[in-house]
Amino acid sequence: MTYFEALVQAQMEEMERDERVVLMGEELSVHGGAKLIERFGKNRIWNMPISEGSFTGLGIGAAINGLRPIVDLSVSNFVYLASDQIINQASKLRYMTGGQIDIPIVFRCCMYSLGSLAAQHADRPYPFFMNVPGLKIISPTSAADIKGLMKSAIRDGDPVMVFEDTRLWPLKGNVPTDPDHVIPIGKADVKREGEDVTLIAVAGVIQPTMEAVSALAEEGISVEVIDPRTLKPLDHEAIKTSVAKTGRLVIVENAHRVCNVGSEIAAVMAEEAFDLLKRPILRVSAPDIHVPFSPALEKDFFPTKDHIIAAVRRLL
């Protein structure tokens, strides 16, 4: 099953399980909604106009009144238009009412990194939302993980943001068929065990990361790959456990370099695991430049296999 198919199946199973789950968004048939529309009809699948702030607010109101909405914001850049509702309403109302209001809602959006979509359609906004208390954020890399975590997100009592990298959509993997199989939010996963270097791979960089690690293995360099799966709350204990073994840490992601996930992981490891490190922490990411339209510039804009290999070698 592909990553994309697993994502749709998670929504299908949760809508079968709980009649309070509804889906709303724009261009739903393009982003996996066609099968859901066919199965559940327009009473539970709500196609919205191109007004992200408005229908995000509608979703939050529906959550307050007992539904469990999945709000599909389509391209990740569009989440900026819904950010006032997500930050000032969804993330804060439980706190501001002393726990009297629950907001069980999922915000889903997809991130593009190739295809010349350019700066207004190719951002990775998850660092922006990591600074907001009250939100949970997931961005897993495998079909099994997106299914298990999407189901957990739908069942969660708090707002959960789902950032999918479209480069992962066609990737295939074994997926549990048990409709009650869920993966807890906040738990990282070791994708490959190693002894020499710990490498944290966030979202879409998993492919060049695994290619780089396989090439390094042929040279006798053993790299442990960790997929955080959840970006907030991060599983710092899993990272510390690995760093205790390797003494070296590289963090790879497609977000811009300033204040990204790697910045947060590096800060916490410097504070809590400095004595475990043999070498400085390295980050590999997109530069602090907007994503270019030009295919020639875009090709090497995000971390590549060669970028990752070079970073690992710097630590040895």
Torsion, Cα of 63, 74, 91, 101 (10° steps):
0
Burial 102-141 (b: 16+ CB within 10 A, else e): bbbbbbbbbbbbeeebeeebbbbbbbebbebebbbbbbbb
Degrees to nearest 5, angle at CA 207 with 220 and 166? 175
Structure tokens at 13: 């199973």
- Contacts with 180 (C-beta within 8 Å, 6 or more apart), sequence order: none
Q: Do strands 223-227 and 189-192 pair parallel, antiparallel, or not at all (unpaired)?
A: antiparallel
CA distance 8 to 132: 28
Looking at 31, 121, 236, 290, which residue is catalytic?
121
For the chain, count helices (H), then strands (E). Answer: 12, 12
What is the maximum alpha-carbon separation in the chain?
58
Catalytic residue status for 31: no
Residues annotated as catalytic are 121
